[in-house]
Amino acid sequence: MSISSKDIVPLTRARAKLAELCEEIKKEHTEKILTKNGESYAALIDAERLDYYHRLEREHIHLTLLDEATRGVEDVNAGRVLTAAKLKARHGR
């Protein structure tokens, strides 16, 4: 979903109309960007959408870990391994 100019709200207006903005966000499943001194400052989003974003983030982390584990297994199977001594020598520890 793209943000339009009607979704950009100065913080002073948001303070005065917070309940109305929250109702609009909940009803229309929109997002609002709050600005302070003309710059992006914060966002108002539906709580369910925030939960969804968090689930996506966790899924991305899990997929990244699985990819790294797969590459590690492939390295071991291909014989691309180092002994602990060689690893310490390479990294100076």
Q: What is the dihedral of CA 53, 58, 64, 70, to 10 degrees?
A: -140
Binned at pLDDT 50, 70 and 90, residue 3 comes out as: confident
Write the CB contacts of 37 (distance below 8 Å, at least 6 apart in sequence).
Answer: none
Q: What is the pLDDT of residues 14-63, one digit of tens each?
A: 999 999 999 999 999 889 999 999 999 999 999 999 999 999 999 999 99
* pLDDT reading at 12 higher than 80: yes
